[in-house]
Amino acid sequence: MVSTYTPNTGIEKPQEGEQSGVWGDTVNVNSDILDRALNGVGTVSLSGSSSNLTTTDGALSDGQYKLITFTGSPSGSHTVTIVPNNAQKVYYFYNISGENVVLSQGSGGNATIPTNSAAVIYADGNGASAAVTDITAKFYTSITDLSTALGTSVASKVVTADASGNVNLSEELIAKSYNETYLAVTSSGNATTVDCETGNMFMHTLTEATTFTFSNPPATGIGYVMSLEIIQDASGSGFAVTWPTSIDWPAAIAPTISPAANAVDVFVFSTRDGGTTWYGFTAGQAIA
């Protein structure tokens, strides 16, 4: 009599009376296969454009791992075919190969894992027409559908980051508390630069007469608002400030900085056209 094998993981099932006196080897291999299937973590190095992920009956093989990390240096998008095509499999994949990995088992459909991404993959084992599905995405869709049925809400909008590291939200931001970065800027050679990319609240203690420059505002079409706190020096030197010519003040009159020692003036500026025009407002002056 000949052994048979479990259809999905390839565990050997000796027939009655078979392997008398040598069955221990089979038990050991089966135990290792079970260990891989339950909690095994393996690495598969990819090269070229295609390869197989095989489960071999009665022997340890990469297809038996529960979690597989794809590494290597594939030549572009790499297709991994799950073999055999009649085995039902659930895998956890982590792709750090530097290229997209396409999982296939038959003609029924594939799943793609981008580089530096992870996914839970289900291969249905339906022979030549077998399909591979990314059930990670299906899970999140199901959560959203369940939430809708229960009359609750689940966040499903997209949060993205651009090449500059700016985070973009497709909907409104609602927060319990909102904090802004506060920075002190200094004067050198009678010039002070406020870098809009670094924060929204700025403070400058005068040490000399200075000319302000507002740099790196957001692009046209994006609104930006900042506040600037100016503190006169402790000696009350009455240092003056020259504002950027792009600022429009109410009645076209720029404010004069308070001359008293340690006097605090606060101003607010906004732009929506990339800094071509700034609107300037005095929030308070001579605040002791």
Q: What's the mean pLDDT when you consider all of the chain?
A: 89
145: tokens are: 């559908």
Q: How far apart are the first and last CA of the chain?
A: 99
Cis peptide before 218 (omega within 30 of 0): no
State mean pLDDT over 255-262. 95
Examine the pLDDT at 24 and tell me if it is beyond 80. Answer: no
State mean pLDDT over 49-65. 95
Half-sphere exposure (CA, 13 Å, Cβ side) for 69?
8
pLDDT tens digits for 66-98? 999 999 999 999 999 999 999 999 999 999 999
Give percent of the chain with pLDDT exceeding 70: 88
142 or 161, greater pLDDT: 161
172 CB contacts (<8 Å, ≥6 apart)? none
Angle value at C-alpha 154, between 152 and 159, nearest 5 degrees: 155
What number of other Cβ atoms are within 10 A of residue 132's Cβ? 24
Beta-bridge mates of residue 201: 182, 227
Question: Which residue spans of the chain are classified as CATH 2.60.120?
Answer: 182-287
Q: What is the pLDDT of residue 191?
A: 97
pLDDT tens digits for 185-195? 999 999 999 99
Q: CA separation (Å) from 61 to 120, 145, 186, 258?
A: 20, 38, 64, 79
CB contact at 8 A, 64 and 91: no
pLDDT tens digits for 124-150? 999 999 999 998 866 655 555 555 555
pLDDT tens digits for 261-286? 999 999 999 999 999 999 999 999 99
Whole-model pTM: value is 0.49
Q: How would residue 9 be classed by pLDDT, with cut points 50, 70 and 90?
A: confident
What number of other Cβ atoms are within 10 A of residue 173's Cβ? 7
CB contact at 8 A, 53 and 68: yes
Examine the pLDDT at 253 and tell me if it is beyond 60. Answer: yes
Q: Which fold has domain 182-287?
A: Jelly Rolls (2.60.120)
Cis peptide before 14 (omega within 30 of 0): no
225: tokens are: 């608002």
Identify which of 273, 259, 266 has the alpha carbon closest to the alpha carbon of residue 287: 266
Q: What is the pLDDT of residue 20?
A: 67
CB contact at 8 A, 10 and 57: yes
20 CB contacts (<8 Å, ≥6 apart)? none
Q: How would residue 26 be classed by pLDDT, with cut points 50, 70 and 90?
A: confident
pLDDT tens digits for 31-55? 899 999 999 999 999 999 999 999 9
Give percent of the chain with pLDDT exceeding 90: 70
